[in-house]
């Protein structure tokens, strides 16, 4: 294994905890408790973003409690020693540690061939009223053929992710150890992702405005498209509605850019809080890296010239490559101003099926005045509507079964795409 490893001691200003041990928010993502384990030496809670699981994840949070450990800096030094013994060519750097009640380390690991890359942050802390040490571990993971892009990109965003880790309001103790009370991230709507949606969840194929129970899955197939008189060819797909009872499906709109469907989240006063629109997207006919470059360029041009045409002060980022389930995709962030000068945020998620020239573009728009998303960078990895866009899966038209996740998933972290 070829290893790239950098160790940084982190000094954090501790903040009082207001978090439940069943869910937490970090960098715009909602993490839910998936697994707990308890022994005489360690207690553990593992969190994944909603919709991810132990087989297929790009981010993970672990919270440990070690009742018999003390002196955080000595623990970190022991961890570093074990790493150096395992990897003799380990490259690391120790920074001054002004406070003795906490110590941390961050490191970047790439496997030989760069088929998997991980950026990890690890903090040990002594907390008031808690015997032993608490440990907090945040991991970003990229796997598959696109991981080679992620190594340099993770390095470039190291400070950004570190800031999210540092500013997180970590809980000072574990609660309800041994009993998971949050909704399981292995299932949504009562069905595992590997089963046919039509067998376990009634398919919503009406264009009427309807309220949906949380976790509901919507399958978009030929019947739905025909019922909406949509002639454009588009791959069949489904997505899971976010965990919110106030989601509204708005009837199909034929005016302007033809869209497949629209999902909106309205506030108490019926303000448009968040909105997602799904469009067909014709992909370039080229292949390999040339197809990726052409797709990224076309996506940005269409955002500027078509999807956000007419808005004021449009600002569009460079698209970045990601993996959503078994499909490749691009994500592009943008912001724009309305006629009153109010700045809105947008996230464009483009999915590219393995075969064919028709993709799916999900346009997520949020109003920061009403949405929980207050910063554009929060849409990079989170946000309610962004969560919907990232849960899209294609449907096999022959069997009408949702594509199963491969055992060795190639899903990659959503990281900025660049040439190097």
Going from the C-alpha of 369 to that of each of 274, 347, 372, 373, 389, the distances in angstroms are 11, 17, 8, 9, 21
Residue 370 domain-assigned (yes or no): yes
Residue 7 domain-assigned (yes or no): no
Is a pLDDT exceeding 70 seen at residue 209? Answer: no
- Residue 384 has a pLDDT of 65
Is a pLDDT exceeding 60 seen at residue 69? Answer: yes
In terms of domains, do 220 and 139 share one?
A: no
Distance separating alpha carbons of residues 153 and 159, to the nearest angstrom? 11
Distance separating alpha carbons of residues 318 and 301, to the nearest angstrom? 11
pLDDT tens digits for range 24-35: 666 666 777 777
Span 96-112, average pLDDT: 70
Span 273-293, average pLDDT: 83
Select from 133, 167, 201 the last residue of a domain: 167
In terms of domains, do 255 and 143 share one?
A: no
In terms of domains, do 133 and 270 share one?
A: no
Residue 222 domain-assigned (yes or no): yes
Distance separating alpha carbons of residues 103 and 420, to the nearest angstrom? 34
pLDDT tens digits for range 9-68: 333 322 223 333 466 666 666 777 777 777 778 888 888 886 677 777 888 999 888 888
Residue 385 domain-assigned (yes or no): yes
Most confident of 165-174, 178-187, 303-312: 303-312
In terms of domains, do 47 and 76 share one?
A: yes
Select from 113, 135, 167 the last residue of a domain: 167
Residue 76 domain-assigned (yes or no): yes
Using only C-alpha atoms, the chain has a radius of gyration, in whole angstroms, of: 22
- Residue 172 has a pLDDT of 72
Residue 150, Cβ density class (10 Å: 0-12 exposed, 13-18 middle, ≥19 buried): buried
Going from the C-alpha of 307 to that of each of 320, 335, 348, 368, the distances in angstroms are 18, 12, 10, 20
- Residue 299 has a pLDDT of 92
In terms of domains, do 127 and 230 share one?
A: no
- HEC sequence for 73-132: HHHHHHHHHHHHHHCCCCCCCCCCCCCCCEEEEEEEEECHHHCEEEEEEEEEECCCCCCC
Angle in degrees, CA 386, 389, 391, rounded to 5: 110
- Residue 298 has a pLDDT of 92
Is a pLDDT exceeding 70 seen at residue 403? Answer: no
Residue % of the chain over a pLDDT of 70: 57
CB 76 within 8 A of CB 104: yes
Reported pTM: 0.46
Quote the number of domains for the chain. 2
Residue 181 domain-assigned (yes or no): no
Of residues 377 and 360, more confidently modeled: 360
- Residue 141 has a pLDDT of 85
Residue 179 domain-assigned (yes or no): no
Which of the four pLDDT bands, split at 50, 70 and 90, describes residue 267?
low
| Side-chain-facing half-sphere of 34: CA atoms under 13 Å | 22
CB 197 within 8 A of CB 203: yes
- Residue 160 has a pLDDT of 72
Span 192-213, average pLDDT: 30
In terms of domains, do 319 and 366 share one?
A: yes
In terms of domains, do 160 and 192 share one?
A: no
Span 154-158, average pLDDT: 74
Q: Phi and psi of 380, rounded to 5°? A: -60, -35
Residues spanned by the domain of 203:
187-394
Q: Residue 268: give its domain's CATH number.
A: 3.40.1000.10
Which of the four pLDDT bands, split at 50, 70 and 90, describes residue 90?
low
In terms of domains, do 201 and 290 share one?
A: yes
Select from 139, 167, 195 the last residue of a domain: 167
In terms of domains, do 369 and 230 share one?
A: yes
Is a pLDDT exceeding 70 seen at residue 179? Answer: no
Span 351-355, average pLDDT: 80
In terms of domains, do 385 and 256 share one?
A: yes
In terms of domains, do 220 and 110 share one?
A: no
Residue 201 domain-assigned (yes or no): yes
In terms of domains, do 231 and 143 share one?
A: no
Of residues 359 and 175, more confidently modeled: 359
């Amino acid at each position: 294994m070829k290893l790239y490893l950098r160790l940084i001691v982190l000094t954090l200003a501790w903040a009082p905890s207001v978090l439940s041990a069943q869910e937490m928010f970090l960098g715009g993502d909602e993490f839910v408790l998936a697994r707990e384990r308890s022994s005489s030496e360690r207690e553990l809670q593992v969190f994944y973003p909603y919709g991810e699981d132990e087989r297929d994840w790009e981010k993970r949070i672990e919270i440990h409690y070690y009742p018999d450990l003390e002196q955080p800096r000595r623990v970190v030094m022991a961890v570093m020693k074990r790493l150096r013994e395992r990897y003799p060519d380990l490259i690391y750097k120790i920074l001054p540690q002004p406070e003795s009640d906490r110590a941390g380390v961050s490191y970047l690991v790439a496997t030989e061939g760069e088929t998997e890359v991980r950026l990890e942050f690890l903090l040990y802390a002594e907390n008031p009223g808690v015997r032993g040490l608490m440990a907090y571990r945040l991991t970003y993971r990229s796997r598959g053929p696109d991981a080679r892009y992620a190594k340099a990109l993770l390095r470039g965003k190291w400070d950004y992710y570190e800031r999210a880790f540092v500013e997180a309001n970590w809980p000072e103790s574990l609660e309800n150890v041994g009993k998971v009370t949050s909704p399981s991230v292995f299932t949504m709507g009562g069905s595992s992702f590997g089963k046919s949606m039509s067998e376990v969840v009634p398919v919503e194929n009406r264009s009427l405005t309807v309220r949906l129970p949380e976790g509901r899955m919507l399958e978009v197939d030929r019947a739905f498209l025909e019922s909406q008189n949509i002639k454009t060819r588009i791959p069949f797909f489904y997505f899971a509605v976010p965990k919110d009872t106030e989601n509204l499906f708005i009837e199909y709109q034929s005016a302007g850019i033809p869209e497949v469907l629209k999902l909106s989240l309205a506030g108490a006063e019926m303000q448009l809080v968040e909105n997602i629109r799904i469009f067909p997207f014709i992909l370039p006919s080229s292949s390999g890296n040339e197809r990726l470059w052409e797709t990224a360029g076309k996506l940005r041009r269409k955002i500027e010239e078509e999807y956000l045409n007419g808005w004021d002060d449009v600002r569009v980022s460079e698209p970045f490559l990601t993996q959503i389930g078994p499909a490749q995709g691009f994500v592009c962030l943008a912001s724009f101003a309305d006629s009153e000068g109010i700045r809105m945020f947008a996230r464009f998620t483009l999915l590219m099926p393995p075969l064919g020239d028709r993709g799916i573009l999900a346009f997520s728009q949020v109003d920061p005045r009403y949405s929980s998303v207050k910063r554009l960078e929060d849409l990079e990895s989170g946000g309610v509507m962004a969560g919907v866009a990232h849960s899209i899966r294609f449907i096999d038209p022959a069997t009408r079964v949702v594509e199963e996740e491969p055992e060795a998933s190639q899903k990659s972290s959503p990281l900025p795409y660049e040439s190097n």
